[in-house]
Structure 1
Amino acid sequence: MTDAAAGARTTAPILLGVVPFGLVAGVTAVEAGMSPVQAVAMSVVVFAGASQLAAIELVGDTAPVAVIVATALVINLRFVMYSASIAPYLRRLGAPARWVSAYVLTDQAYAVSLAEFRETAPGERSRLWYYLGSALSLWVTWQVATAVGAVAGAAVPAGLSLEFAVPLTFLALLVPAVEDRHTAAVAAVSGVVGVGAAVLPFDLGIVTAGAVGVAVGVALDLRTGAFPVTGDGEPMGDGGRERETDDAAGERGGERR
């Protein structure tokens, strides 16, 4: 549980941006014609801020169900990239742990956990608890904020401009992740593509920017010879290299014995 507490503590500053984001989702849902119960139920089932807001807007515009579902799926395609990126660090988990981890996956939990996993070399069980500590603190905060927003409804003053908290939250995640020229290049290219592709329908600009950013990152990795995973499936960070060194030393010691 110490690892879970560490994950929650690291995520705590980000929650300040999640609260107004959740309030916006709850208020918007009620304004679109949902009851507070429906708004909360949707939040629990979907648990994806950007796609929730997009779906709520489409519900308010009485769009066909197929369009609403397709839009939400397209926006959430980025989680496929997140899952593929974080999977090597949680490779040996059982099915129940994987299902729970997939359900609570968010942009914030992904960024916080991946940064921790790359800097340290904890065991897989410790990684899981750290990730869950981060993800569940976000889940609880989001659900409470959405419920408060749904109950408050139109009582929240329009002049608060709560929507501005959304980009600020993502900027708070981005800036610490830019550590060198490599990550700066990926962030810059993704940002330019995201702005240029903002005119695409169904928020496809988000997916396009993410895909291009991944492609640039992979290309730079191949060029510099940096690979994220070793041959046995362990992450190839400093911890992975240390484990390989320890294993090699153990083998040499066994040969001498």
Structure 2
Amino acid sequence: MSLVHLPPEIRRGVRDVAPLLIGIAPFGLVAGAAAIDAGLTPLQAVGLSVVVFAGASQLAAIDLLGSNAELLVVVLTGAVINLRMLMYSASIAPHFRALRSGWKSLCAYVLTDQAYALSIARYTDAEAELDPRERRRYYLAVGLSLWVVWQCCTLLGIVVGARVPDSWGLAFAVPLVFLSLLIPAITTKPKAIAALVGGGVAVAGEVFAVPLDLGLILGGLAGVVAGVIADERLSTVSGNAESDAGGEP
């Protein structure tokens, strides 16, 4: 079936997500290649990608598995990184109330940053004109497009990674990917403080050999706390400054 003959909301979802698919392709390749470099078998690497389906969590899990971290630590790290999905779920859930439990489960499985952002923007812009079926079609068109491209790129990375010599130093790919995700995201002072504190704690955990490789989890939690505190402090200072300015004759 050609794209022209698909329902309008499916066509729109595929069209809206198309530019983002180009961006996630390199990360999928790195995730697949890094999984092989970390010692996973091709079947294990594919299973990890299908079950987890979360770029940052997947890369973090691969990095920890490569350093022989405890399985519990790997799971907890992935859970901490994906805590934002709870907020996404709470935000988008009202739009899916009319769906059956099976559809809700599928929607939950393919929930990503991109699927959430595009879908919320679409629903907010035209919710009154979209019935539950149309909302489901748009969301799944976005989510499943991301899923298919991610899995295909991960599989390609697995095939390529199995042929890359150890001398190429593929282990550096994962940290470089995280840096490429982190730097564009630092757009405010609270975010910068969160990045510095979180990164500093994680590095300190590695330097001082924190038991069970918990440095990454501690770094993530410390970064969140530091960012929240910094945001509150800066908001208070800004509010006081505005009050003082408003009180001048």
Query: After TM superposition, is the score higher than 0.5?
Result: yes
Correspondence list, 1:1-257, <5 A: 1-121=7-127, 122-153=130-161, 155=164, 188=188, 191-199=191-199, 200=201, 201-202=216-217, 204=220, 208=224, 212=228
Q: Which residue of 1 aligns with 2:211?
A: none
Aligned-residue offset at 1:30? 0.2
Work out whether residues 17 and 166 of structure 1, in 8 Å CA contact, stay in contact via their aligned partners in 2.
Answer: no
CA distance in 2, matches of 1:206, 1:117: 34
Work out whether residues 25 and 149 of structure 2, in 8 Å CA contact, stay in contact via their aligned partners in 1.
Answer: yes
Aligned-residue offset at 1:205? 5.5
CA distance in 1, matches of 2:156, 2:62: 17
Work out whether residues 30 and 173 of structure 2, in 8 Å CA contact, stay in contact via their aligned partners in 1.
Answer: no
CA distance in 2, matches of 1:140, 1:191: 32
| Overall identity of the aligned pairs, in % | 42
CA distance in 2, matches of 1:44, 1:79: 17
Work out whether residues 28 and 55 of structure 2, in 8 Å CA contact, stay in contact via their aligned partners in 1.
Answer: yes
- Aligned CA distance change for structure 1 residues 169 and 53 (closer, same or farther; 3 Å): closer
Aligned-residue offset at 1:97? 1.0
Q: CA RMSD in A?
A: 3.3
Work out whether residues 31 and 174 of structure 2, in 8 Å CA contact, stay in contact via their aligned partners in 1.
Answer: no
CA distance in 2, matches of 1:151, 1:18: 18
Aligned-residue offset at 1:34? 0.8
Give the total of aligned pairs. 204
Q: Unaligned stretches of 5+ in structure 2? A: 1-6, 202-215, 236-249
- Aligned CA distance change for structure 1 residues 128 and 197 (closer, same or farther; 3 Å): farther
Work out whether residues 17 and 168 of structure 1, in 8 Å CA contact, stay in contact via their aligned partners in 2.
Answer: no
Structure 1, residues 197-232: CA drift from partner, whole Å, max 9, x if none? 4234325259828x949x98xx9xxxxxxxxxxxxx
Aligned-residue offset at 1:16? 0.8
Q: Name the amino acid aligned to 1:130.
A: Y
Q: Unaligned stretches of 5+ in structure 1? A: 175-186, 220-257
- Aligned CA distance change for structure 1 residues 207 and 8 (closer, same or farther; 3 Å): farther
Question: Normalising by structure 1, what TM-score?
Answer: 0.68
Work out whether residues 38 and 66 of structure 2, in 8 Å CA contact, stay in contact via their aligned partners in 1.
Answer: yes
CA distance in 2, matches of 1:6, 1:83: 22
Q: Name the amino acid aligned to 1:32.
A: A
Q: Name the amino acid aligned to 1:204.
A: G
CA distance in 2, matches of 1:104, 1:170: 23
- Aligned CA distance change for structure 1 residues 11 and 170 (closer, same or farther; 3 Å): farther
Work out whether residues 197 and 205 of structure 1, in 8 Å CA contact, stay in contact via their aligned partners in 2.
Answer: no
CA distance in 1, matches of 2:140, 2:222: 26
CA distance in 2, matches of 1:165, 1:87: 31
CA distance in 1, matches of 2:182, 2:122: 18
SS at match of 1:18: helix
CA distance in 2, matches of 1:140, 1:167: 25
**Stretch of structure 1 that moved more, 107-116 or 23-32:** 107-116
- Aligned CA distance change for structure 1 residues 168 and 67 (closer, same or farther; 3 Å): closer
